[in-house]
Structure 1
């Protein structure tokens, strides 16, 4: 029996137990499985799905993708596939807004998510941001700053910032993120070149000469 995951509620989608919705989601999962080796082909087939007029297709596509990404204990394919697929889907005009709605819903409901799913959400969102110049309404998430460090929202945003730092660099993020996020931004890394130490260079040279003479 397959567990049905519902992220979007309201009149925009058929009911969770609607047979039409169930059949559409099953066929979309089949497309994901068939085209898991090519994000471009997969995105094209999802968007050109022949029964797309039966449901708000963008919302259903995202529900299916995220249900696969958050599948426990393991996603059906490597999580990076779903991240690259979502980037490909963002080439359409309507999909970015739907993905933004999904990200906001995940943030609001993160207290109810499994830790493994939160980790995958962090990896996906930071990767997604790195492909779109980190453009996001960060100020909408300032409410997490004063929460306990172990609070799910605080931990999520802190880890996202840390991942984004790895994708980018310190100055860029400090310019993009609101001032309230200052506590969450890691300290600016300091690069130390050992070879700049003249004494160390001398020691290395002496050791090298010693080994040459020894041979």
Structure 2
């Protein structure tokens, strides 16, 4: 398999975590978003949405969207599972994951931040305040959801799930913008537990071949 991704991309980071947790080998293909490499014809032919990540399967077919890719990996390589077998538990994990992937991340990804500055002429500090507000607001909601669940080592239970694959990249990016994480005990405990695992360490941005300071 080949993973076309960018080291700072939260969505790419999610898929790298899933691949590492499952012990699946893949070729790392960097696509530099800031330099616009995702808009080049060669990449556009493979990923019409012009987004990362994209996973090229051994059959030559391509998959996009991190959540769809991770669920495909979980269905085709079920061990260790990233979604519980019980339908209710599976729905709860998906809800946690989507709270980050669908509620927090879309407001704060690179193209949105660039639009705020380039097209709407928002000042840099105002842009950063926008980012911090929506990440903090979303993580407070995430913490409230975790508070309704039985205590566990990770977001849901004592093994990493799809929810953890989404949480960790969001915390990493939040740190770059100085988001306040105080008062989020369950959220940060799950993050710390994840980062104690080699799979999460191998997937993190600083471990990527295209990592920049």
- Please, what TM-score do these two structures have when normalized by structure 1? 0.27
Larger Rg: 1
Higher relative contact order (CA 8 A, sep 6+): 2
Structure with the largest fraction of strand: 2
